Chain A
């Protein structure tokens, strides 16, 4: 009698729809791969033939381009994966922006602002790292890991998926361990994003396998829509 136990409030169904989008772990796998690629980008640093400031500017701009195309590729790959693997098992749901008090204008502005946010995020993370390194203060990687863990907590609250809280804790732990080991500069940053990427991908991968097992495909010959 699950039907009668379910809450009826639209907010509950909006949360369920969000949860449905994230529960299969596909987004996490791709985000993790993105973080690992970024870590790889940080390890392949440009030869310092120019001034230090110019080098940072070049790196940030290159990373922004990588992030922008990453977002486009991310959307394409995730939709294809969901269409072929997730939707036939658990169904397709589209979120209603009006019900979440989000106007089309807000959405367009948010999408347009995404590359700007990406650049700001990169500048802040590199700036914080540079500043702490200059001041010879330890703990910068812990701060950065908190910045990476923060979206995971927001998502966990939005979707109600507890594994995302654990993920945030894991990211903080990586930051803490790297801080203890006194890893600084690009190596530390690359390790932080690299390990975080592995952790996020792993979490998504496990969730994905469990999801496939829990939701087998419909038996051949049986109409998915009950001959509606």
Chain B
């Protein structure tokens, strides 16, 4: 693949995923079955407010589902990647991977 093609593929990547914090969140949720808010906060080091906004953005895009429940009196938010989210993440990885391969050649 010529670099221009790879570059155009890279320019067309999903901007929702491309944001670093959301990319990390999606890569975690892609690897596991589900994770709760506290786990994601600990793993990413993001503040609660920041994490909330990124999760909502991913939910709005249809890439994750947020299941809100309670553990006793404490709110428990379980996050899970959707099929669309997995597909979008794989497409993103492919585009970035191809671009990096082109650079290495």
- Interface on A for B, CB 8 Å cutoff? 2-4, 6, 8-14, 16-17, 20, 83, 87-97, 99, 215, 218, 223-228
Contact = CB atoms under 8 A, between A and B. Distances in A.
A91 B41 contact: yes
Interface string B51-65: 110011000000000
12 contacts: A3-B45, A6-B44, A14-B31, A91-B36, A92-B34, A93-B36, A95-B33, A224-B38, A225-B68, A226-B41, A226-B52, A228-B55
Q: Is the interface of B mostly helix, strand, loop or mixed?
A: helix
B72 to A, nearest CB: 9
B85 to A, nearest CB: 13
Given A13-B27, A13-B32, A224 B37 contact: yes
A83 B71 CA distance: 9
Question: Closest 6 A-B residue pairs measured CB to CB?
Answer: A91-B39, A226-B48, A91-B38, A13-B31, A10-B31, A94-B33
B24 A8 contact: yes
Contacts of B66: 228
Given A17-B35, A89-B38, A218-B74, 14 more contacts: A3-B24, A6-B24, A8-B23, A12-B31, A90-B38, A90-B42, A91-B37, A91-B40, A93-B35, A93-B39, A215-B42, A226-B37, A228-B55, A228-B66
Interface string B66-87: 1010010011111000000000
Interface residues of B, number: 38
B101 to A, nearest CB: 16
Interface of B: 20-21, 23-24, 27-28, 30-49, 51-52, 55-56, 66, 68, 71, 74-78
Nearest to A217: B74
Given A3-B46, A4-B20, A225-B48, A94 B71 contact: no
B71 A228 contact: no
Contacts of A91: 35-42
Contact of B38 (A92, A94, A99): A92
Contacts of B34: 92-94
Contact of B75 (A12, A90, A96, A224): A224
Contacts of B30: 10, 13, 99
